[in-house]
Structure 1
Amino acid sequence: MKRRWYAVLRTPLGLTATVLVAMILVLAVLGPELWTTRANVVDTGDILAGPSGAHWVGTDNLGRDILYRVLVAGRLSVALALAATAIAIVAGLILGAAPFLLGRRGGRFVSAAVNVVVAFPGLLLALFFAVIFGVGATGAVLAIGFAGAPAFARLTQTLVAGLAARDFVAASRIAGVNRVRILFRHILPNIAEPLIVNATIAAGGALLAFAGLSFLGLGVQPPAYDWGRLLYDGISAIYVNPAAALAPGAAVLLAGLAFNLFGETVAKGLGITNKVGGVSSPVPETSSVKGSSDQPDVVLHVDDLTVSFPGPTGDIHPVRGVSFVVRRGEALGVVGESGSGKSLTALAVSGLVDVPGRVEADRLELLGTDLLGRDTKARQRLLGTSLAMVFQDPMTSLNPTRRVGGQLAEVAHHHQGLGRKDAMARAVDRLRAVRIPGADRRVRQYPHEFSGGMRQRAMIAMGLMGTPALIVADEPTTALDVTVQRQVLDLLDSIRRADDVALVLISHDVTVVREVCDRVLVMYAGRIVEDLPADELTTAARHPYTRALVAAVPDLDTDLDRPLAVIPGRPVAPAEVPVGCAFADRCPLADERCRAEDPALIADGSERRVACWHPGEPLDLDEAIDELVEAP
């Protein structure tokens, strides 16, 4: 960072902008102290004089030296511009953060209002507000400040919306941290840089706008004066002494240009570039899952879970009637192609599906507590301490502006009431538990100082800050190399076995799930199409889709002379789920019944469930797979 700043300041643009802004600020501070007396001297014998050795840019209609007045006016001009910029930033932050704080419904009105107001030119808004707040310096500051707020609000809305979708924000929400705290602790520090850049540029714009209002007689009033007021006075004598208008005009132009160029310099110094401001109904499961949350070993009970979003022609159901149970110490794998509903099911369980999404279920319980009930502190505490969520990308799972130890300690402080020292000691202990060497030193480091595998371990440690009964790992090894993948999976497995923790592992990798998990759910088009023991995944799968997934994974016995097997066709989009079995168009075993009726998920009396009209069709498995997959 220091090297980048040094390199930027050595460029002609960076050096010029920095020097100009420094000179203007020094002038604003020292100008009135040095030259106020000379600027106020009245000489009626030298009225409206032109430039001379005594008065470099002439005198005004009272014989006062214009150059000294321009130098003195710098303080008021800059101070008023900075005050207006501060108002614009504060108002813009409040309006821009409103959708996040108020939720979709409450924030929709604010967003609509900002979108309407931002369409109007800033100067027009400033004139409008100037009429409302009245003539004078105070009214002009408020007018320019509120006129600049919509642009900051739009920028803030965009930045906050991007950050709100990040995993570390979702993790804070799972922990029960309220939105205001998330905003100040996690979101605002991460959007500070572009806001600072735009604030610097906006200061130049505010200075120009303020000079314009004063020039129109709506800003600073006599006997006070700023550059705009001096420009107004100089215009009246422009034919007698053009320098009287040129001097304050040049000061406005130079100061505005300096702030704008300095904004560009700050952007480069911070490393910011080019930043500106027919639907099917859900299909219910006709078979119930074994187990009940009333039993002491049941951790998670999901029955007929449906997630829906509004669409142009009706509700879209990316998750349709999902039912399963997870017991203590059990590892449940969830596999399927992208878009099958795996991650959305995990988000629904974790309470992370925002409006307009709707989560409905006959039963959705964690340790016997209804997760669809009212959002109480007890529910937040349960999700924050008994449920650990490990997200897919470790780089987005942690707040890049906060030290790792502080992020872990926040969980213990918020939910367990530990003091700062005890919470940090707990963070060190949890980092050691996930086998991060030098935990005492690592807690003081930022996420970018961790490797990818260590960041993922830190995320697991955050989940272990409480006493989790369930760990939901959504593609936890996707961004890691093979060696680190093995280490993370071994760590999750050891934690599960040591503390009798239930694990839900979501993955595209059938091989990983088969090795780590006890049981596997196979999802397609938002439904569970097969539920079977993991050790039977490659030998006793009964659904054609499960067989295709297994066949598409090469192993040591794969014939290298043949193209790799693939599943024909494309996955079904949630908004285009057909009548009947969603897999029928890609399945060589499909018949007219498959295309007309959607099979229910039926238990076969053992530990298996399958939704297929032709489960375990009595065909040679190799022949069935050859028909099911097609070579490119």
Structure 2
Amino acid sequence: MRPVGVAGLGLLGAVVFVAAFGPVLWGDQATVVDTGNLLAGPSAQHWIGTDNLGRDLFARVLVAARLSILLALAATAISLVLGIVLGAAPVLVGRRTGRFITSAVNVLVAFPGLLLVLFFAVVFGVGARGAALAVGLAGAPAFARLCHTLVAAVSERDYIAAARIAGVSRIRILLRHVLPNIAEPLVVNATMAAGGVLLTFAGLSFLGLGVQAPDYDWGKLMQDGLNGIYVHPLAALGPGIAVVLAGLAFNLTGEAFAAAPGRVRPLGPARGPSVRTAPVPGAVLSVDDLRVTMPGPVHAVRGVTFTVGEGEAVGLVGESGSGKSVTALAVAGLLEPPVRVEANHLVVAGEEDHRRLGTSLAVVFQDPMTSFNPAHRVGPQLAEVSRFHQGMSRRTAFARAVDRLRAVRIREPERRARQYPFEFSGGMRQRAMIGMGLMGNPRLIVADEPTTALDVTVQRQVLELLAEVRRETGAALLLISHDVSVVTDVCDRVLVMYAGRVVEELPAGDLRARARHPYTRALVAAVPDLETDLDRPLAVIPGLPVDPMSAPAGCAFAPRCPLADDHCRAVAPPLLAGVACHKTAEVRV
């Protein structure tokens, strides 16, 4: 720690010591009345003199430290708690009401803090309690703004989405997953704010709006010494110096914490699509005419229809921006307004309401580093699923978590369960994420590019693990990937997406040799293999993907397709016999 931090901590320790033991050590001396020594100046007996009753001012300054510090901490605590509640309002009450609360906070932040303090002081009345409430409420908007920013940054993380999938309530997500990850900056800012609050409180008492006789704090002592400041300046300057030193202690300590090296709104369930057609019998996932629209408007998914049977593995492939991950998020119920999700039906494991799925649905996210809460150990995060859905005790659920880590081939699962996510390698985190999905009895596993950023050896291990899980549990798999090779090796059937639509559906074994859509063939050709001629440029798909805000009326792939004609550009081809292309007859298989 830097010298400034050491000085701040030392000074703060001294202030806390005086506040804790001042009334015990100097309380009697501070109350002794000496009528023969009224308003005396500094001396060896009275370091900063006496007051109008002959009481030792230095002792009174030391005794006043307790009330001054307690009131400052109480006001800071009020600001912090109220700021957290207001800042996390979008999490607790929903985005629409939360937006109104956030707007009100922004208006209050625009007002000078001193005006708010004086206004609330008049409202709550003169006295220590009213002053504490006034200062606490006046400081709440600044904390609310900070908390809102921090919560927004955290709430979009995958581990928040994982908690939602587990069915964890909003309040529990806030307390367990959000607040622990924003606690450090909040504590640092609260420590620094305490110094300002101390000064504000002293100012209120100095103006006569704070502590009232016979009680006294540093501000009240400054007020009492004001009348004789020209004759006896230390009577007012002594408590003022105490305020400065205590405020400096809080600020230096906060600065030291802020400079020290390091050691998102829980989303509500997506608005369910309206049900107008019956789901496919025997399918663990049945989706008909799924449409996802984002503000803009951006038509991310445009009329996707598919099913996943019991125990079947279906792959979604396509370039980035084709709508694969958005489709997966819609299936998992992880999209909320203003994103609009519509479909004739979207049924997962026989349920239309995602909140009733329990552990029937498991999601393996793309980035395992953000999928786990970094503030909690891995074992308890897995155990939370069983504790919430299956009513297990803490010990039983933890034992289940250890067993699931063992099931996904993590060595020394007992020790690993007590470690934090950053102590796991990338492949281990991904296996642990799969283990979280196996805490219950999933009928469908949605894996959103689970091998991204992993080396080929670890990729193979993760894919083999998914295949093993399917064999042992009978769960179906919806695998999202841009890697044609991965989908070919793992899946039974493949859906190729482009510009938010399914352009071809075919068995995985036919993907390389029997694809009929020009986009599918171009996608396969762009993947190098051991027979690729290294002396020639790698194959690429010409042109750029379609802008989802201005999708063409005809075939979206037409601007990049060598077979396209005017009819292709004007009329969108329907998905017939597993392919959406007007030129199917011209494609040689």
Do these two structures clear the TM 0.5 threshold for a shared fold by scoring above it?
Answer: yes
Specify which of 528, 544, 564 is matched with residue 518 of structure 2.
544
1:502 aligns with 2:493: no
1:524/1:618 Cα in 2 relative to 1: closer, same or farther (>3 Å)?
closer
Tell me by how many angstroms 1:492 deviates. 0.3
What is the CA distance between 1:361 and its match in structure 2?
Answer: 0.7
Residue identity opposite 1:446 in structure 2 = Y
Q: Given residue 522 of structure 2, which amino acid in structure 1 is its aligned partner?
A: A
1:343-380 Cα shifts (integer Å, max 9, x gaps): 11111111110111121111111233224xxxxxxx53
The count of aligned residue pairs is: 576
C-alpha spacing 1:64/1:422, structure 2 compared with 1 (3 Å): closer
Moved more, 573-582 or 194-203: 573-582
The amino acid of 1:154's aligned partner reads R
Separation (CA, whole Å) in 1 of partners of 2:21 and 2:374: 40
Where structure 2 has 5 or more consecutive residues not aligned to the other structure, the ranges are 264-276
- Could you tell me the percent identity over the aligned residues? 68
Change (3 A) 1:616 1:501: farther
Aligned partner (choices 215, 224, 240) of residue 224 of structure 1: 215
- Does residue 310 (structure 1) correspond to residue 295 (structure 2)? The answer is yes
Residues 539-598 of structure 1: CA distance to partner in whole angstroms, max 9, x if unpaired? Answer: 122222212211221222222222222222322232122222222222222222222222
- Distance in 2 (CA, whole Å) between partners of 1:231 and 1:338 is 67
Query: Which residue identity does 2:190 align to in structure 1?
Result: A
**CA apart distance, 1:412:** 1.4
Give the Å deviation of 1:599. Answer: 1.5
How far apart, CA to CA, are the structure 1 residues paired with 2:480 and 2:245?
59
CA distance in 1, matches of 2:552, 2:172: 44
CA distance in 1, matches of 2:565, 2:129: 78
**Residue from 2, 6, 12 that aligns with 1:21:** 12
C-alpha separation in 2, matches of 1:361 and 1:568: 33
The separation in 1 between residues aligned to 2:368 and 2:474, in whole angstroms, is 25
Is 1:392 aligned to 2:345, yes or no? no
Equivalent residue runs for 1:179-578 within 5 Å:
179-269=170-260, 271=262, 293-296=279-282, 298-311=283-296, 315-371=297-353, 379-382=354-357, 384-578=358-552
Partner of 1:612: 581
Partner SS for 2:359: helix
- Structure-2 separation of matches of 1:441 and 1:567: 48
Question: Is 13-22 or 177-186 further displaced after alignment?
Answer: 177-186
Instruction: Assess if the C-alpha contact under 8 Å between 1:48 and 1:240 holds in 2.
Output: no
Q: Deviations over 1:209-264 (max 9, x none)?
A: 10111112111112221111222223322211222222111111111111011112
AA paired with 2:384? E
Matched AA of 2:96: R
1:157-196 alignment, distance < 5 Å: 157-196=148-187
SS of residue matched to 2:303: strand
Task: Verify the 8 A CA contact 1:293 1:299 in the aligned structure 2.
Answer: no
**What is the alpha-carbon distance in structure 2 between the residues aligned to residue 233 and residue 589 of structure 1?**
92
Q: In the aligned structure 2, how far is the partner of 1:146 from the partner of 1:123?
A: 11
TM-score (norm 1): 0.88
Q: How far off is 1:270 after superposition?
A: 6.1
TM-superposed CA distance for 1:50, in Å, is: 2.8
Alpha-carbon shift at residue 31 of structure 1 (Å): 1.2
How far apart are residue 55 of structure 1 and its match? Answer: 2.4
The amino acid of 2:311's aligned partner reads: G
Which moved further from structure 2: 49-58 or 520-529? Answer: 49-58
Moved more, 505-514 or 120-129: 120-129
Q: Which SS does the other structure have where 2:295 is aligned?
A: strand
> What's the TM-score, normalizing by structure 2?
0.94
Decide whether the 8 Å contact of 2:517 with 2:587 is kept in 1.
Answer: no
Residue by residue over 1:185-209, the C-alpha shift from the partner in whole angstroms, topping out at 9 and shown as x without a partner, is: 2111222111111111121111111
Question: Match of 1:411, SS?
Answer: helix
Aligned-residue offset at 1:616: 5.3
Give SS of 2:50's match.
coil
What's the offset of the Cα at 1:269?
Answer: 4.2
Give the whole-Å Cα distance in 2 for the aligned partners of 1:586 and 1:593. 15
Structure 1 residues 405 and 381: alpha-carbon distance in aligned structure 2, compared to 1, 3 A threshold: farther
Amino acid at match of 1:387: L
- Give the secondary-structure state (helix, strand or coil) at the position aligned to 1:558: coil
Question: Equivalents in 1 of 2:253, 2:386: separation in Å?
Answer: 43
In 2 relative to 1, CA 618–584 (structure 1 residues): closer, same or farther, beyond 3 Å? Answer: closer
Per-residue deviation, 1:155? 1.6
Q: Secondary structure at the match of 2:563?
A: coil
Q: How far is the alpha carbon of 1:78 from its aligned partner?
A: 0.4
CA distance in 2, matches of 1:173, 1:574: 28
Match of 2:274 in 1: none
Contact 2:349 2:444 in 1 (8 A): no
Question: Structure 2 CA distance, aligned partners of 1:506 and 1:527?
Answer: 14
Which residue among 122, 126, 137 is the counterpart of 1:135?
126
What is the alpha-carbon root mean square deviation over aligned residues? 1.9
CA distance in structure 2 between the aligned counterparts of 1:226 and 1:365, rounded to whole angstroms: 65
2:192 maps to amino acid:
I
Contact 1:389/1:471, CA 8 A, preserved across alignment: yes
For residues 513 and 337 of structure 2, what CA distance do their matches in structure 1 show?
Answer: 42
Q: What letter corresponds to residue 322 of structure 2 in structure 1?
A: S
The worse-fitting range, judged by mean Cα deviation, of 576-585 and 455-464 is 576-585
The whole-number CA distance in structure 2 between the counterparts of 1:308 and 1:48 is: 77
Query: What is the CA–CA distance in structure 1 between the aligned matches of 2:395 and 2:59, rounded to whole Å?
Result: 58
| Structure 1 contact 381–415 (Cα < 8 Å) conserved | no
Contact 1:319 1:345 in 2 (8 A): yes
How far apart are 1:125 and its partner, in Å?
A: 1.4
Aligned counterpart, 1:595: 569
